[in-house]
Chain A
Amino acid sequence: MTDPSAPLIEIDNLEVDFEVGGRLFARAGQTKLRAVDGVSLELRRGETLGLVGESGCGKSTLGRTVLHLIKPTGGQVRFDGRALDDLDEIELRQLRRRMQIVFQDPFSSLNPRMSVGEAVAEPMLIHGLAGKDDWRPKVAELFDIVGLGPAMIDRYPHEFSGGQRQRVGIARALAAQPDFIVCDEAVSALDVSIQAQIINLLEELRTRLNLTYLFIAHDLAVVRHISDRVAVMYLGRIVEIAAKSDLFENPLHPYTEALLSAVPIPDRNAEINRQRILLPGEVPSPLSPPSGCALHPRCPKAMAVCRDLKPALRPHGEGHHVACHLYSEDNPGSF
């Protein structure tokens, strides 16, 4: 059908702006918030790309824009070679069968007035994969896959615990037999003992159904566990992307370093003996981002050039890209 070595998703210089505040009294130039600022990425078939960053960095917006739940302001997303922008409303809806999303909040991502069976059956009905009268066996099969009993089909979401609801959410995402799933903080709201169950389930499903994941999370330990490659976002831009072993053993960007050093380790000795890099201050507002490199006001390694010039994402080693002036060729301090 298609070239299996071609990437499943190609994101090319994607930009997303949000209008904020009332239009009436805002001055020009103040009204735009750039949530995603020129992101280019590829997802290969069958891989899990982790996307990490702190709240407000644009990672969730990026995930929704990849699915065209939010329309990009600039740039392009290609799914299996087709540019989503070129599709009309109906074609896009049909393509949605192949790309799904699992949400963070297992409590609000299910319609309280639909039984969980109906919720899981809905994508099948929409895409004609099952009829009004014969969805039950198919839903039961999905319930079995995600570890829920068939007796639960007629229950309502409020009767379920957080972990069980997340299983329903995953079953719904699988119902249309997708190729690609965006997991938007899919395990963040769960207790650790349940979180591990869901992580294992997601990993199992990926191999079994040959899925491709965009795994968005703020927990670096979880992302490290589940991903093949990891991209780090800061204020709407990708600052570093690499194979996971590379990124976690040899982080290049000062922000990645700080992020890694702040992840708590559940081990007394490891914690006491490790070096912390504490970034001063807070993530600046995307309404008024700093000039040059967005990190420079907080960066312990900032140089003069960082204030004026936005660093581009450049390759630095095999499959490792970083957007930092420390690693640009004309910088005398580079190595």
Chain B
Amino acid sequence: MTAAAQAPPLLQVRDLAVEFGGDGGVVKAVNGVSFDLHRGEIVALVGESGCGKSVTALALLRLVADPPGRITAGSIHFDGEDLLQIPLPLLRDIRGDRIAMIFQEAMNSLNPVHRIGRQIAEPLSLHRAMPMRDALAKAVDLLRSVRIPEALRRSRDYPHQFSGGMQQRAMIAMGMGCEPDIIIADEPTTALDVTIQAQLLELLQQQVVEKQTSILLITHNLGIVARYADRVNVMYAGRIVEQAKAEDIYDRPRHPYTLGLLQSVPRIDQAIGDKLTPIEGQPPDPINPPPGCPFRPRCRFAVTRCDEDIPPLRRLTDSQSIACWVDVDD
């Protein structure tokens, strides 16, 4: 993974901004987000509901519904091209082929009237011009590789005949079908039980090791990220507030929000009986964000400067940056 860091990044997102406009006002859902994704790397985008992490994921493939959404600024360089500039037909060739997406709600992402095998085979015949028969055979192989028992028989099942965990595995199989360079996984295991979660994440990680796929893992769960991510971006109110290697995020969180998140989750390996330390208050109203730093109203470390100036992302070490005027570590 260190070697990969030397090569230019596979995906380079710069100053991405997405707005949602309505009569009630304009919401800046994503507000100047920049990050890199290298080959064979798992990068996490972590944050709570409404922080803009899923919108960021959708924006990468220009899938934000327009209207009401608009990508208003930024660039997304993938393999030398800016995905925000290339014509739509070219982008369609990339979607599902070189960049695949896995959503949280497998049940809603699978078409209830088509057999599982056929749905997995479809992108293959579409992007690879594979004859349907070969594509179906490949689909069975893929189902086998995500450890669906009796893959041949189950490939003829309809989605409702699969359990939630199996549906999500079928989604992963579909995502892996064209051997994409990047898999964007938006809360891929959130709806599932912990034991099934563990199975699926192992599966994704295996894909990274074997095929050098890159994964953008979008989640609210800091626990999942700890084991699987190489680098972590923490988002709050549409901005990345901390960016670091996974080791550093957990050992030395430097942004007050990251620290707050880590302190507010109960941990199974800690002494029993300590009171939790929640982050007080609520996330800001996206229509009327407070002036200055959006985390200011909930922050224990705030200084006067936070009231007026929005802190930019600044580099603390080679691999750790925060968007904060103070450094929690001091």
Residues of A participating in the B interface, judged by any CB pair closer than 8 Å: 54-55, 161-164, 191-197, 199-200, 203, 218, 220-222, 224-225, 244-245, 248, 258-260, 262-272, 276, 278-279, 281-283
Contact = CB atoms under 8 A, between A and B. Distances in A.
A224 B251 contact: no
Nearest to A270: B269
B277 interface: yes
B227 A271 contact: yes
Q: Which 5 A-B pairs have the closest CB atoms?
A: A264-B223, A196-B278, A196-B264, A225-B266, A191-B48
B199 A271 contact: no
Given A195-B264, A199-B266, A245 B272 contact: yes
Contact of A272 (B227, B264, B266, B280): B227
B194 interface: yes
A30 B294 CA distance: 56
A266 B48 contact: no
Given A193-B260, A281-B149, A267 B268 contact: no
A225 to B, nearest CB: 4
Given A220-B268, A266-B262, 4 more contacts: A193-B48, A263-B223, A264-B194, A267-B250
A248 B227 contact: no
Contacts of A264: 194, 197, 221, 223-224, 226-227
B226 A265 contact: yes
Contacts of B261: 192-193
A268 B232 CA distance: 11
Contact of A200 (B163, B251, B269, B275): B275
B268 A224 contact: yes
B195 interface: yes
Contacts of A282: 163, 165-166, 196
B278 A197 contact: yes
A222 B272 CA distance: 11
B194 A200 contact: no
Interface string B253-289: 0000000111011111100100111111011000000
Given A282-B165, A282-B166, A262 B198 contact: yes
Nearest to B50: A191
Nearest to B248: A268
Contacts of A269: 247, 250-251
B220 interface: yes
Nearest to A204: B275
Contacts of B272: 224-225, 244-245, 248
B222 interface: yes
B66 interface: no
Contacts of A248: 268, 272
Contact of B226 (A54, A225, A268): A268
Contacts of B266: 196, 199, 221-222, 224-225
Contacts of B267: 221, 265-267
Given A268-B251, A278-B199, A221 B265 contact: yes
B113 to A, nearest CB: 21
Given A265-B267, A267-B250, A196 B277 contact: yes
Chain A's interface: helix, strand, loop or mixed, by majority? helix
Interface of B: 48-49, 149, 163-166, 193-199, 202, 220-227, 246-247, 249-251, 260-262, 264-269, 272, 275-280, 282-283, 298
Instruction: Name which of B48, B220, B223 has the most chain A CB atoms within 10 A of its CB.
Output: B223
Given A244-B272, A269-B250, A196 B226 contact: no
22 contacts: A55-B193, A191-B48, A192-B222, A193-B278, A194-B278, A195-B265, A196-B264, A199-B266, A220-B268, A222-B266, A224-B268, A244-B272, A259-B195, A263-B223, A266-B265, A266-B267, A271-B223, A272-B227, A278-B195, A278-B199, A282-B166, A283-B163
A219 B222 CA distance: 14
A216 B108 CA distance: 27
Contacts of B164: 55
A260 B278 CA distance: 24
Nearest to B272: A245
B226 A258 contact: no
Contacts of A161: 282-283
Given A193-B279, A194-B278, A278-B195, A260 B268 contact: yes
A105 B194 CA distance: 20
A191 B265 CA distance: 10
A282 B194 CA distance: 11
Contacts of B275: 200, 203
A218 B220 contact: no
Contact of A262 (B163, B165, B194): B194
Contacts of A218: 193-194
Contacts of A224: 266, 268, 272
Contact of A266 (B149, B163, B195, B226): B226
A335 to B, nearest CB: 25
A101 B280 CA distance: 25
A274 to B, nearest CB: 8
Contacts of B222: 192, 266
Nearest to B48: A191
A54 B193 contact: yes
Contacts of B250: 266-269
Contacts of A191: 48-49, 220, 283
A248 B276 CA distance: 19
Given A245-B272, A282-B165, A266 B264 contact: no
Contact of B279 (A162, A196, A259, A271): A196
A267 B226 contact: yes
